[in-house]
Amino acid sequence: MKTGIQHLYIPGPTNVPEVVRQAMNVPMQDHRAPDFGDLTMGLFADLKKVFRTETGRVMMFPGSGTGCWEAAITNTLNPGDRVLMARHGQFSHLWIEMAKKLGLDVEVVDVAWGAGVPVNEFARILGNDRHGKIKAVFVTHNETATGVTSDVALVRRAMDEAFHDALLFVDGVSSIACIDFRMDEWGVDLAVTGTQKGFMLPAGLGIVGVSPKAMAAAEKNTLRRCFFDFADMAKMNDTGYFPYTPPTQLLHGLRRALDRMMDEGLDNVVARHRRLATGVRNAVAAWGLDVCAEHPSVYSDTVTAIKTPTGVDAREVIKIAYDRYNCSLGSGLGPLAGKVFRIGHIGDLNEGMCLTAISIAEMSLAAAGAQVRFGSGVAAAQDVYAEPFARAVQRN
Ligand code: PLP
């Protein structure tokens, strides 16, 4: 029998704070009642703050991130449209596959799983696209499979320098509400996420930020959609309603989660993720292991994919953590299966939780045959986590 808490260190679903869980424990209510907007209008307004958009709108669809990938495509593009995408991990791969299935003509740039979006290659391709055949550029902001964060602002710059008019799609499923994200400043037209990662909620709602340019595209595009129609959703949202039954408990949870984020301050949320991630990366270095991300400039602050040494199967590390220590670590996806395991450090998390994850990973690595010294990773992370307080003591 397993005792104690089940440790959850996968990069989503993430830990739901107790106050958020309690906030969802409400009776069912009438989603067409005259006062339903008292709940929803504030949510729409605060989601815009998290996406950092004033000009765009943010919609929620029952579903998940994948649903909003589809909503973004089917509302704004036409069958056969040429789009530019990079494959550098399982999630960018899956988005490419979806785009193909939906009938788009996808120009794929394959780069190493561990690299960021190939901005220079994108710039070259966009520069050569003199007749504007490319209708959209896709960026997976945080590739959760590899622990790689790409530079969306640089992609925007490349598009602007090529005077390119394509729509900019961004998968922010494991970045928005944790890693710096600026929809308006970066000229993002479609920004996709879900509730089960940075928003600290169960899965159940996909969230999509839509720029005015994308809303205009949605008025004349011809890909088919029904449930995911932006126009239907926008019309109802304008008065606080949904075109169909929304998961009201999740909306109450979202209210509480947004309050928490606003209380902490969005910049502080980002800084906390950076600090916690730095501790995890320090631990990996102390073990003498490599992360999958190929350069510090692309290190993700929400997930670290750790390469196991030759002869050590990452699946074994994950299994030991689960069976012996009641702890879920993230697995290697696609071609990375068996080669990496992932520590998710995203959402409602603090130093002690990260130290637990590191300590369990350390024991599991050793049990799977890796040469790691007990305490080495924990101590390396402690150096990071204790540092701000050490400085405070010195100042006193
Ligand atoms: N994109 C990224 C970067 C993800 O990490 C995930 C899920 O982990 C998805 C898309 C798919 O999202 P969902 O599982 O919410 O459909």
Q: How many other C-beta atoms can be found within 10 angstroms of the C-beta atom of residue 360?
A: 23
Domain(s) labelled CATH 3.40.640.10 in the chain stretch across 18-263
Helices (H), 223-344: 230-237, 248-264, 266-287, 314-325
What is the pairing mode between strands 142-143 and 148-149? antiparallel
Domain(s) labelled CATH 3.90.1150.10 in the chain stretch across 7-13+266-384
Q: How far apart are CA 383 and CA 390, in angstroms?
A: 10
Q: What is the pLDDT of residue 158?
A: 98
Indicate which residue's Cα is closest to atom 12 of ligand 1: 65
Residues 139, 171 contacting (CB under 8 angstroms): yes
Select 7-13+266-384's CATH number: 1.10.443.10, 3.90.1150.10, 3.40.47.10, 3.40.50.11540.
3.90.1150.10
Helical (H) or strand (E) element with 24: none
Q: Is the CB of 302 under 6 A from ligand 1?
A: no
Given a cut of 90, is residue 232 above it in pLDDT? yes
Indicate which residue's Cα is closest to atom 5 of ligand 1: 144
Q: What is the pLDDT of residues 10-55, one digit of tens each?
A: 999 999 999 999 999 999 999 999 999 999 999 999 999 999 999 9
Contacts of residue 128, defined as CB under 8 A and 6 or more positions apart, other chains included, come to: none
ipTM score here? 0.99
Q: Angle of helix 119-128 relative to helix 152-161, nearest 10 degrees? A: 20
Q: What is the pLDDT of residues 310-326, one digit of tens each?
A: 999 999 999 999 999 99
Contacts of residue 304, defined as CB under 8 A and 6 or more positions apart, other chains included, come to: 147, 277, 280, 281, 284, 291, 293, 342, 343, 345
Q: Is the CB of 12 under 6 A from ligand 1?
A: yes
Q: What is the pLDDT of residue 219?
A: 97
Q: What is the pLDDT of residues 330-369, one digit of tens each?
A: 999 999 999 999 999 999 999 999 999 999 999 999 999 9
Q: What is the pLDDT of residue 395?
A: 60
To test the pocket of ligand 1, the residue of 66, 73, 336, 346 to mutate (highest count of ligand atoms within 8 Å of its CB) is 66
CATH code for the structural domain at 18-263: 3.40.640.10
Percent of the chain at pLDDT exceeding 90: 97
Question: Which DSSP string do the residues of 105-141 spell out, in sequence order?
Answer: EEEEEE--BTB---HHHHHHHHHH-TT--EEEEEEES
Q: Is the CB of 204 under 6 A from ligand 1?
A: no
Q: How far apart are CA 251 and CA 254, in angstroms?
A: 5
